């Protein structure tokens, strides 16, 4: 058995949570995706409910629109594990979060309704082997048979249900706001079993099971403004910190070591429910501009997100693991200030055909993040996972008589280094080496979307006519 596989498994699922520290990892709105989210001052699709609600006064009514449906091909590579010149890789193909909604006019005010699948991760991965490796024989010289099984899962669901309002204050200035209700669930677990058979017909068994669950229901508010200057549009959007209404956490831990000897055999079993939990999303301010260049348009954006001081994501009681003192179980999070920037170009080819190209930075905010890998480390040594990314997008917007069709692709890449090795001892799998591991992550997204307008004109659309 190659013990490196455990690092790959834990990192793969820790990564699902760490990407919540990348604020531009997923974009929403058909054209907004192709512009990598650089649309605070220029958004022209349903993505305005997310990027700048005041821009609702600048677009035609849409009866209903689907966000560009995206599928992604992602790859993860690890190198220099346990100080060795070795590499591991994993490839995954699945769908990614999306949105849907529409716009309407009521009492001379503009409104939009929307549903955003903000985060959607549901990964289950198992591994087993019966190879009696040299690593096992060195620890147990009389070992005759061996079986290892590991099952790890991570689930992150964050669904937003929103209503957006906007109104023109005067000919050039608009204000707007979006109110979203969020249903957030984050859970994970790992189950690791070692079974060793000996020539004497005795058996040694090791089991380590960890699981957690966090639920949070709350509100997210976005406040936007847009001003039309003679030669460009300027937009500002403020993301108000998350307002938590309901929270709950759970944690379970089971450890069994049997058949190794009196000095090593152990059994611990804990199941904590109704734990205090917190979900925090910080203040964010975005500023962007849409600058016409002939029939083309340049989109530029700067995004600032404030940091978060260290706090307990789930407050877990200390547990008895046979040591002199109670063992603390840390599940903490902290974030740093982040500034991202990007630009996109909208190229006019024909009245019914446009081409888009863009890029954006996407820096990871986590100083410390709460993940299943961190919980599984011996002594709760911090194992924070997170990467800085750069995204590139290209695509087309084709207008047909009955709808607009959006096609495009997005490429994202990044790498990071951290400490996360494993080794096997008589007391189980522990983290006892501080070698540096490099993580490389790449993602291709392939998107297709459709917008179906209704026969309704607003004041703004009549002026355009």
The vertex-124 CA angle with 437 and 416, nearest 5°, equals 20
pLDDT digits (tens, 9 = 90+) for 401-417: 877 888 999 998 877 66
CB atoms within 10 A of CB 31: 26
Give pLDDT, residue 108.
Answer: 83
pLDDT of residue 120: 80
Q: What integer is the mean pLDDT of 436-462?
A: 64
**pLDDT confidence tier of residue 56, bands split at 50, 70 and 90:** very high
User: Do 404 and 30 contact (CB within 8 A), yes or no?
Assistant: yes
- Structure confidence by residue, pLDDT tens digits, 144-184: 998 888 787 788 899 999 999 999 999 999 999 999 999 99
State the DSSP H helix or E strand holding residue 9, giving kind and residue range, or none if neither.
helix 4-18
- DSSP 3-state assignment of 84? coil
Per-residue model confidence (pLDDT) at position 448 = 81
| Domain assignments of the chain as residue spans, ordered by start | 4-464
Look at 304 and 401; give whichever has higher pLDDT.
304
Residue 131 has pLDDT above 60, yes or no: yes
Summarize the confidence of residues 45-73 as an average pLDDT. Answer: 81
Arithmetic mean of pLDDT, 8-21:
54
Percent of the chain with pLDDT over 90: 43
pLDDT surpassing 70 at residue 428: no
Mean confidence (pLDDT) of the chain: 81
Asked if residue 52 has pLDDT above 70, the reply is yes
Least confident of 67-71, 105-109, 136-140, 207-211: 67-71
Between these two residues, 34 and 125, which has the higher pLDDT value? 34
When comparing pLDDT for 208 and 83, which is higher?
208
Residues 6+ apart with CB under 8 A from 328: 318, 380
pLDDT at 308: 95
DSSP code, position 236: E
Residue 389 and residue 25 in contact, taking contact as beta carbons nearer than 8 Å: yes
Distance CA 55, CA 175 (A): 8
In this predicted model, which residue has the larger pLDDT, 232 or 377? Answer: 232
More confident residue, 81 or 158: 158
Structure tokens at 313: 């994501």
Q: How far apart are the first and last CA of the chain?
A: 70
Residues 284 and 304: their CA atoms lie apart, in Å, by 6
Report residue 323 CA to chain centroid gap. 36
The answer to whether 154 and 17 are in contact (CB under 8 A) is yes
Phi, psi angles (nearest 5°) of residue 53: -60, -25
Averaged pLDDT, 357-382: 69
Q: Count CB atoms within 10 A of the CB of residue 197.
A: 18
Model pTM greater than 0.75? yes
DSSP-assigned letters across all residues of 419-459: E---EEETTEEE-----EEEEEEEEEEEEEEEEEE-S---H
CATH of 4-464, picked from 3.10.20.30, 3.40.50.300, 2.40.160.60, 2.60.120.1440, is 2.40.160.60
- Characterize 157-185 residue by residue with b for buried, 16 or more Cβ atoms within 10 angstroms of its Cβ, and e for exposed: bbbbebbbbbebeeeeebbbbbbbebebe
How far apart are the C-alpha atoms of 398 and 216, rounded to whole Å?
Answer: 40
Average pLDDT over residues 12-35: 75
Ranges 72-86, 389-403, 441-455, most confident:
389-403
As a whole number of angstroms, the distance between CA 368 and CA 330 comes to: 11
Q: Taking the CA atoms of the chain, what radius of gyration do you get in angstroms?
A: 26
């Amino acid at each position: 058995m190659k013990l490196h596989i455990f690092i790959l498994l834990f990192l793969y699922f820790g990564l699902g949570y760490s990407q919540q520290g990348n604020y531009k990892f997923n974009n929403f709105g058909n054209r907004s995706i192709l512009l990598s989210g650089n649309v605070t001052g220029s958004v022209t699709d349903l993505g305005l409910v997310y990027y700048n609600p005041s821009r609702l006064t600048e677009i035609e009514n849409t009866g209903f629109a689907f966000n560009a449906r995206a599928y992604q091909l992602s790859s993860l590579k690890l190198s220099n594990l346990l100080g060795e010149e070795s590499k591991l890789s994993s490839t995954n193909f699945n769908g990614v979060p999306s949105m849907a909604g529409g716009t309407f006019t009521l009492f001379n005010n503009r409104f939009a309704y929307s549903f955003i699948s903000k985060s959607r991760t549901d990964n289950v991965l198992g591994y087993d082997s019966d190879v009696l490796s040299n690593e096992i024989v060195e620890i147990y010289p009389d070992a005759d048979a061996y079986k290892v099984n590991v099952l790890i899962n991570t689930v992150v669901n964050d669904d937003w249900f929103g209503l957006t309002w906007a109104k023109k204050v005067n000919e050039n200035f608009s204000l707007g706001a979006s109110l979203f209700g969020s249903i957030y669930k984050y859970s994970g677990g790992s189950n690791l079993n070692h079974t060793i058979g000996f020539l004497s017909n005795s058996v040694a068994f090791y089991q380590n099971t960890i699981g957690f669950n966090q639920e949070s229901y709350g509100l997210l508010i976005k406040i936007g403004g847009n001003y039309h200057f003679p030669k460009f549009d300027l937009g500002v959007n403020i993301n108000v910190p998350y307002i938590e209404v309901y929270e709950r956490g759970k944690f379970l831990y089971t450890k069994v070591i049997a058949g190794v000897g009196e000095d090593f055999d152990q059994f611990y079993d804990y199941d904590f429910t109704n734990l205090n939990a917190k979900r925090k999303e910080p203040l964010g301010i975005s500023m962007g501009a849409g600058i016409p260049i002939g029939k083309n348009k340049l989109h530029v954006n700067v995004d600032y997100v404030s940091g978060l001081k260290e706090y307990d994501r789930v407050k877990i009681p200390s547990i008895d693991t046979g040591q002199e003192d109670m063992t603390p179980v840390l599940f903490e999070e902290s974030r740093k200030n982040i500034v991202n920037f990007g630009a996109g170009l909208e190229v006019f080819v024909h009245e019914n055909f446009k081409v888009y190209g863009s890029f954006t930075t996407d820096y990871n905010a986590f100083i410390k993040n709460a993940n299943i890998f961190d919980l599984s480390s011996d002594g709760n040594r911090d194992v924070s996972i997170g990467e800085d990314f750069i995204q590139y997008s290209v695509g087309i917007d084709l207008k047909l008589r009955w709808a607009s069709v959006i096609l495009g692709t997005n490429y994202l890449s990044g790498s990071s280094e951290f400490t996360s090795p494993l080794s096997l001892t008589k007391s189980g799998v522990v983290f006892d080496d501080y070698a540096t591991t490099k993580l490389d992550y790449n993602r291709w997204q392939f998107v297709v979307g459709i917008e179906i307008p209704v026969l309704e004109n607003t004041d703004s659309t009549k002026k355009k006519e």
